[in-house]
Chains A and B, each alone.
Chain A
């Protein structure tokens, strides 16, 4: 049973059947899955969703698959953490972290899009799947295709973090490093999709793949008790997830599951790769591409395909955007870890740092509800912390040696859980001082 009516061009509205297709033939606009909302509104209720599995598949009526889910059966339904300790530090009333760093099985939001894309790929009868990736998608496609018994061909920039390369290779994909940045990889993958009959998840399965990102937004709304946060801050790389969170909020509103009283969506990018933020600030939908230079590798996309939609959604919702420097990103990673025990990758540090800037500049009022979307896990990118964390003392296994360490000040007092480095954070960054 499926409520999918077909594919529809986001630009010119041209209609296409459900098939592998990367774009509109008439205008090259991206394609969106169209649903029969009237039928959906008769079927989908809060209760029907709550009775579903504890995974993203509880929203399957709003996802573009035909039969039973075939991949990612345990993906999604990640924690929405009420972040009171962090809220207090930042001087805000109501703050939540949606933590896709805890996603299953590969610890990033990509498990959502891949679960949907691979189910769809198998329904179409593909035996080889692939992707262009900044790391997290590679990791996820490799894992899910291994579990599904599919061959995978995965292309990444040549200089990704070790954790992402090893974390991908262990699943046995055909992994290819491409000399160049993500935008070079992306261009090559478009040509590969053109020549080989494979399911490239973010190319010819793009309309289905991107729908998986909606589940991040569905979960925020449901886990918040069937309401929307007044502010949602979302990282922008290719520009996929931000418009899909907006679509999720819209669909839930349309189906009468939540009320939308003007939920604002804000964009976060790294200062070393911020074409979308620059365009938002300039008030234009046409961004200028950039050559990325940032530690936030997973969101280092200088030529974001869905950038125009991210920009449009932000402006239509009344939101705004902010970018964060590498140093701000690293400090935000440590702040989140030391207040909420969530270790995120630089993309997450970017999103929190941008949130802090939007709070400080008054774009996000301190007394309104805020959700920060964390999309990836810090254990995959440990090299970015190098040199920032204190050396670890090594002692003999004798109580005297430990006493000596304590006597010499080697075990710090409790600094509100912020650890020995806590004071350093406060001294260096004005906006973290509270």
Chain B
């Protein structure tokens, strides 16, 4: 269980978290940290996750620069000082 994991919020979502670029939360896994974020900011709920609790497919979640789909997805354990990034996906190049 980590006491302080930073979640980086992209501009497009900041209006849902009182304008903050970064929110510190506690949790044992990426999923728990994000749940804490959604509990504190209800309007994010349907945007970040679908009804089945899966991450919106147009959003990528990174734990310290690694896409969580290459780790253990929402079950990936976190430790103090970790950074979770929420990044919208963009077109190719």
Contacts and interface: CB of A to CB of B under 8 A. Distances in A.
Interface stretch (A40-48, A180-188, A389-397): A180-188
Contacts, number: 95
Given A191-B87, A202-B93, A28 B62 contact: no
A306 interface: yes
A30 B57 CA distance: 11
A209 B91 CA distance: 9
Interface residues of B, number: 23
A237 interface: yes
B92 A22 contact: no
Given A30-B58, A289-B67, A186 B93 contact: yes
Nearest to A305: B89
B37 to A, nearest CB: 15
Contacts of B47: 26-28
Interface in A186-203: 186-187, 189-191, 193-194, 202-203
A133 B89 contact: no
Given A137-B93, A187-B62, A303-B60, A25 B69 contact: no
A187 B60 contact: yes
A194 B92 contact: no
B91 A190 contact: no
A116 interface: no
B83 to A, nearest CB: 12
A210 interface: yes
A291 B90 contact: no
A187 B12 CA distance: 15
A210 B62 CA distance: 26
B88 interface: yes
Interface string B63-74: 001010110000
Interface of B: 10-12, 46-47, 56-60, 62, 65, 67, 69-70, 85, 87-93
30 contacts: A11-B58, A22-B88, A25-B12, A27-B46, A28-B12, A28-B56, A28-B58, A110-B93, A137-B93, A182-B92, A186-B93, A187-B60, A187-B62, A189-B90, A190-B88, A190-B89, A190-B90, A194-B11, A202-B90, A203-B91, A238-B92, A238-B93, A286-B57, A288-B69, A289-B67, A289-B69, A291-B70, A303-B60, A305-B58, A305-B92
Interface of A: 11, 22-23, 25-30, 110, 131-134, 136-138, 182-184, 186-187, 189-191, 193-194, 202-203, 206, 209-210, 237-240, 285-286, 288-289, 291, 301, 303-306, 308
